[in-house]
Amino acid sequence: MPEGPEIRRVADRLGKVLVGVPLTQVWFAFPELEAMAGRLRQTHVTAVDCWGKALLVIFADGHVLYSHNQLYGVWRLHRSDQPPRTNRILRARLSTSRHTASLYSASDISLWTTETLERQPFLARLGPDLLTHDVSTGDIVARLGERRFASRGLGSLLLDQGFYAGIGNYLRSEILFYAGLRPMKRPKDLSDTQREKLANSILTTILQAYREAGVTNRPVWRKRVQQAGERRAQWRFAVFDRDGKPCHACGATIQRESVASRRFYYCPVCQQG
């Protein structure tokens, strides 16, 4: 399932072709939404944003189209005169004279307004989005110290979207590797220096994943693997999905275990903090 960086990139791609451009078609598969299609076609898109794994299309009249891809949903961009060939079920379509954004297979779609959006059940449970809400390292350090988070094991806390939205399973392993921490550690167990390092790891890792299309490995490490002819799956990450392989930093064997019912990867040498 895509994580925050992937959804942010989708939002950016949609925004480039939809924002500020007159709409020629607005169509929904669901009758309660289709009733609003004519009105939305008379306005235009002012922004395409995301919050965690939810995508938000914001219209000039104040309406907001909420969609969550869940396991199978996907937005596809294509020329308006060249719809893609697919067996997926079309759920929504927003078209300009040149481009179309088509949403396939998603079932969680609804219309809100900028005033009512905070009451959307999924969004109401989310913490700030690391790529949308201008989060700083200091913000993360402060949040780690809050009572509701300080006693949680990091392995489960990082997956809790109420802590910060957008961190998924591959990011969790990568973040804790760069922070030098094991998943059973709690924020309250950490020194000030460790909390600062963890906060920096959270922010820099998700920003790198966003900028480099899901790649979180350090350039010098991945270059070495690329030159050896390895496939992308082996050079994309520092530790995730690399059990049995040598650590890029120290050469120890990467281990895998289950943490919070999800697979977790770590270096037993680098992560002794």
What are the DSSP calls for 151-220, one per residue?
Answer: TS-HHHHTT-TTTSBT--HHHHHHHHHHHT--TT--GGGS-HHHHHHHHHHHHHHHHHHHHTTT--S-HH
The strand pair at 45-51 and 90-95 is best described as unpaired
Tell me if 246 sits within 8 A of 253, measured CB to CB: yes
Known catalytic residue at 196: no
Tell me if 77 sits within 8 A of 111, measured CB to CB: no
**Which one from 34, 188, 262, 268 is the annotated catalytic residue?**
262
**Which one from 53, 91, 195, 242 is the annotated catalytic residue?**
53
Known catalytic residue at 2: yes
Which residues sit opposite 76 in a β-bridge? 102
Known catalytic residue at 262: yes
From the list 143, 209, 224, the residue with the least C-alpha distance to 178 is 209
**Which one from 2, 41, 230, 256 is the annotated catalytic residue?**
2
Give the residue numbers marked as catalytic: 2-3, 53, 262
